[in-house]
Amino acid sequence: MNNQNQMQPHRLSTQLDAVRHEDRRQILFALRDVERWRPSVSAFDDDRTPVGEPPIPAELYHCQLPKLAEMGLIEWDRETHWVTRGSEYERVRPLLAFLAEQYNE
């Protein structure tokens, strides 16, 4: 698989990768019913953030949010920390609906 195909949200493998990590799932689920969402430390059972660090967990800031943004599933403002649906978000919505249905059973 080449890099060009690796991050195409219409590919099932890419969609599954997007929801594989619990934090990424939480972000995508949060955006199902709201236009924008702002993550916080309290939303992700993480230790307190040191002074001067982003007000969100480091793994989210450095790994999970950038990965979802690269996939086109979210738009993320690094200064305000607001997250909105990306241009490719609707492609993953059916998978999110399926997962939500499975979690509710």
> In the 8-state DSSP scheme, what is residue 57?
-
Supply the pLDDT for residue 50: 46
Tell me the mean pLDDT in the region 17-36.
95
Supply the pLDDT for residue 51: 47
Supply the pLDDT for residue 56: 78
Supply the pLDDT for residue 47: 52
Residue 74's SS3 state is strand
Closest CA to 87 of 69, 66, 73: 73
Cα separation, 7 vs 76, whole angstroms: 17
Q: What is the pTM of this model?
A: 0.77
The 10s digit of each residue's pLDDT in 41-88 is: 555 544 544 445 456 788 899 999 999 999 999 999 998 889 999 999
Beta-sheet strands, E only, within 1-105:
36-37, 74-76, 83-85
Residue 97 backbone phi and psi in degrees, to 5: -65, -40
CATH of domain 8-104: 1.10.10
One-letter identity of residue 58: A
The 10s digit of each residue's pLDDT in 9-26 is: 568 899 999 999 999 999
Supply the pLDDT for residue 62: 92
Both tokens assigned to 61: 């800031």
